[in-house]
Amino acid sequence: MSLNKAPIAVQRECREFAELEAIEDRCLQSIKSVQRAYILQAMHWLENDNCGVVGWFNDEYPALLRTIERPPMVLFYKGRTELLSQASVAMVGSRKASHYGIQVTDQLAQECAQSGLAVVSGLAMGIDAAAHRAALDYGATIAVLGTGIDQIYPRRNRELYELMSHQGLIISEFSPGTPARMDHFPRRNRIISGMSKGVVVIEAARRSGSISTALSALREGREVGAVPNSIFAKSQEGCHWLLKEGAHVITCANDILSWFDISANEPSQQTQCTIPKHLANNPLFANVSNDPVSLDELVERTGLSVAEVSEQLLLLELEGLITAIPGGYIKVGRR
């Protein structure tokens, strides 16, 4: 439905509402007023560059999304619409992601993007934001909003939103100006899973939006995978529940790419994480990995004094090669 015809459609819907005795005239006028305001705001927003709307009958509408039980009739967009036709995989997870979760997301999103997939997520904090950022560095990513396309939620992701509006794609079924509401996010989740061949869950509680997205994917016959983690963490119970229910175990990008009958591309020389020459024979740097290691352990392994280890750790942190987390120090992948 084109926007210039939308007011007519709204008037028609309002007349149908009026036939119901339960709706009084003043309620009817309120509905018409609100709808008209949203339409005017949408039309004003469409005047911006790189913005538009794709309808269910348009060729640009995602083919997989068209097949779900309740597809959105329109998608407002901002960014590169050609990504709507690209093969895609969804990556979702906890807003309060651990360092492990961020590391896993970085690696999976990077390799999937390098292999030609668009990484779809919900522009939330934590795993979502990490997936978008990693995919942007190496390929394509799509954000699905639970608000109007012009509403940045959460506000802390403003910089990422602006970056994606130029280098990636942002979409929403909600008209511009629509604020965040709890009942909007399950609707967003069905779009995330609906436009993707499969959903990968990276860190999720048993009752969470990520599990809701995975269940939507299952209902539509899509692939579902989960990343295993600590059995002691409550924040991982959702992933382990999915695995017990038969979800794919995801331990590397090839576990995802097999759904598309493709293999991970070899990382280019530019994107490989290389060891700086001055650290090639450094015993302390060699003993820091993706698993946390404490200062005491480093002293024991290297034979250096506490002061020497502390000094080197500080220098490595300043270079952006390691970071301190609860439990010790870990390496930071350079991108």
pLDDT tens-digit readout, 299-335: 998 899 999 989 989 988 888 888 888 888 888 754 4
Look up residue 45 and give its two tokens: 């927003």
Arch. (CATH architecture) of 63-260: 3-Layer(aba) Sandwich (3.40)
Closest C-alpha among 14, 90, 91, 83 to residue 54: 83
Query: Residue range 178-193: average pLDDT?
Result: 95
In whole angstroms, what is the distance from residue 197 CA to residue 121 CA? 13
Look up residue 101 and give its two tokens: 């979760």
- Residues contacting 166, CB < 8 A, separation 6+: 50, 79
Instruction: Give the CA radius of gyration of the chain.
Output: 23
The SS3 of residue 301 is helix
Task: Pick the most confident of 249-253, 293-297, 322-326.
Answer: 249-253
Q: What is the pLDDT of residue 215?
A: 96
Q: CB 22: neighbour CB atoms within 10 A? A: 6
Instruction: Note if the bond before 154 is cis, omega within 30 degrees.
Output: yes
Q: What is the pLDDT of residue 290?
A: 75
Q: CB 137: neighbour CB atoms within 10 A? A: 16
Cβ atoms 258, 223 nearer than 8 A: no
User: What is 277-331's CATH topology?
Assistant: Arc Repressor Mutant, subunit A (1.10.10)
Q: What pTM did the predictor assign?
A: 0.76
In whole angstroms, what is the distance from residue 53 CA to residue 73 CA? 10
Least confident of 16-20, 170-174, 263-267, 279-283: 16-20
Look up residue 229 and give its two tokens: 């983690």
* Bridge partner list, 225: 200, 248
Q: CB 218: neighbour CB atoms within 10 A? A: 16
Domains in the chain: boundaries = 3-45, 63-260, 277-331
Torsion sign (Cα): 206, 207, 210, 215:
positive
CA distances from 157 to 75, 119, 130, 236 (A): 21, 17, 11, 24
- Residues contacting 322, CB < 8 A, separation 6+: 285, 288, 313, 316, 329, 330, 331, 332
Report residue 31's pLDDT band, with 50, 70 and 90 as the boundaries.
very low
* pLDDT value at 269 more than 70: no
Cβ atoms 95, 124 nearer than 8 A: yes
In whole angstroms, what is the distance from residue 286 CA to residue 211 CA? 38
For a pLDDT cut of 90, what percent of the chain falls above it? 61
Residue-by-residue DSSP string for 232-260: T-GGGHHHHHHHHTTPEE-SSHHHHHGGG
pLDDT in tens, 73-117: 999 999 999 999 999 999 999 999 998 999 999 999 999 999 999
- Residues contacting 151, CB < 8 A, separation 6+: 145, 176, 177, 178, 179, 180
CA 211 distance to own-chain centroid: 14
Q: What is the pLDDT of residue 76?
A: 94
Q: What is the pLDDT of residue 235?
A: 84
Q: What is the pLDDT of residue 271?
A: 42
Cβ atoms 257, 264 nearer than 8 A: yes
CA 62 distance to own-chain centroid: 17
Q: What is the pLDDT of residue 45?
A: 74
The SS3 of residue 148 is strand
Query: Residue range 178-195: average pLDDT?
Result: 95
Residue 321: half-sphere exposure toward Cβ, Cα within 13 Å: 20
pLDDT in tens, 111-161: 999 999 999 999 999 999 999 999 998 999 999 999 999 999 999 999 999
The whole-chain average pLDDT of the chain stands at 85
Of residues 214 and 24, which shows the higher confidence score?
214
- Residues contacting 96, CB < 8 A, separation 6+: 125, 126, 235
The SS3 of residue 292 is coil
Amino acid at 203: E
